[in-house]
Amino acid sequence: MEITETYARAHELLKKAGLRPTRQRLGLAHLLFDQGNRHVTAEALHSEAGKASLSVSLATVYNTLHQLTEAGLLNQVNLEGASTYFDTNLEPHGHFYFIDRQQLMDVPAPGIDKSVLPAPPDGTEISRVDVIVTVRDVRK
């Protein structure tokens, strides 16, 4: 079959990451990268894969998400209580976290970057900066 076209982008990204383009990884990369910026949990992606008739185990979803993260194709976002999200947006940015809906939204210009931050102690360097603005529904 000519899945070639549909998965071209996914295939290329996997290649760039040095990961074998297996059926599972192609499918997952397609779900992740062929529909604009996304915030997904492993659970959510796994269930999406199921709906798309892609047979993958949850363990493999976790593996793949981590491999893509390590390859710099995803960002990991850690939240209180909720499970870990993976973000396809690679630009430096922050997040609104809607705690009532457990949903994430990018904050384009969080006004916080290395320039506002004190230098870290000698012998260390900044690895990443996470800005999470937790937001809740206004209670009347």
Binding residues (CB under 7 A) for DNA: these are: 19-25, 41-43, 55-60, 62-64, 66, 81, 83-84
What is the end-to-end Cα distance of the chain in Å, rounded? Answer: 57
Judged by beta carbon, residue 51 or residue 128, the one nearer a copy of itself is 128
For the bound state, the minimum distance from the C-beta of residue 122 to DNA, rounded and expressed in Å, comes to: 29
Of 28, 24, 33, the closest CA to residue 45 belongs to 28
Using a 10 angstrom Cβ sphere, with 0-12 exposed, 13-18 middle and 19 or more buried, the burial of residue 114 is exposed
Which residues, 77 to 136, sit near a copy of itself by CB under 8 A? 78-80, 84, 94, 96, 98-99, 107-112, 116-118, 120-121, 123-136
Maximum distance among all Cα pairs of the chain, rounded to whole angstroms: 57
Read off the tokens for 76: 């990991």
24 binds, among DNA, a copy of itself, none (CB under 5 to 8 A by kind): DNA
Helix (H) or strand (E) holding 11: helix 8-17
Of 140, 132, 139, 48, the closest CA to residue 98 belongs to 132
Judged by beta carbon, residue 1 or residue 119, the one nearer a copy of itself is 119
36 binds, among a copy of itself, DNA, none (CB under 5 to 8 A by kind): none
Residue ranges binding a copy of itself (CB under 8 A): 76, 78-80, 84, 94, 96, 98-99, 107-112, 116-118, 120-121, 123-138
